[in-house]
Amino acid sequence: MKNEATVTVTQTYQAPVDRVWQAITNAEQMRRWYFLNIIDFEPETGFGTTFDEKYDDGSTRRHIWKVVDVIPEKMISYEWRTGNDADNSLVTFVLAAEGNITSICVIHERIDRFTDPDITLENLQKGWGYFIDTTLKNFVEQTSEQLL
């Protein structure tokens, strides 16, 4: 069961690592591809934040994050639970740079700690796939400044 309680998504971006790092750790940028209601975020061990996200069915879910490990431009890891959970899952972003290409690996562990019946392995795989394969990829690969 242990293995089944982890979601892993990997992807490669045509973007330098500092850009990807900003996108995953700067609240203003996170709001544009991740969760719209993220209020603040700091890539610092011990930093905690809480935000409420509305869902299509009209329900609201409270997300509670606490940063547990940071190596700038290499990895960040934070605990994640919802307002209904007693225990934390753990999400880790790992970046590796090669010139202007950045590979990203997101590992979401201990997802069995989520008590909400809607937060299933399948839904988390879909959700992370959407963020990492689509929204974050589009965000960091946008080349608007190249138009100037």
Partner 1 sequence: METTSRSQPVIVERSYSAPVEKVWRALTDNEQMKQWFFKLPEFKAEPGFEFEFEAGKDEKKFMHKCVVKEVIPNQRLSYSWRYEGYEGDSLVSFDLSDDNGGTHVKITHTGLDTFPNVEDFAPKNFNTGWSYFLNDALAGFLEKE
Which residues are at the interface with partner 1 (CB under 8 A)?
22, 26-29, 32, 142-148
What does the alpha-carbon distance between residue 94 and residue 26 come to, in Å, rounded to a whole number? Answer: 16
Nearest CB to partner 1, comparing residues 3 and 144:
144
**DSSP calls for 64-96:** EEEEEEEETTTEEEEEEEETT-SS-EEEEEEEE
State the nearest-atom distance from the C-beta of 139 to partner 1, in Å: 8
What's the CA gap between 56 and 50, in Å, rounded? 20
Q: Which is nearer to partner 1, 51 or 114 (CB)?
A: 51
Query: Would you say 58 or 99 has its CB closer to partner 1?
Result: 99
Find the shortest distance in angstroms from Cβ 148 to partner 1.
4
Task: State the amino acid at position 57 in one-letter form.
Answer: D
A 10 A CB-CB count for 98 gives 10
Nearer to partner 1, 50 or 142 (CB): 142
- State the nearest-atom distance from the C-beta of 146 to partner 1, in Å: 5
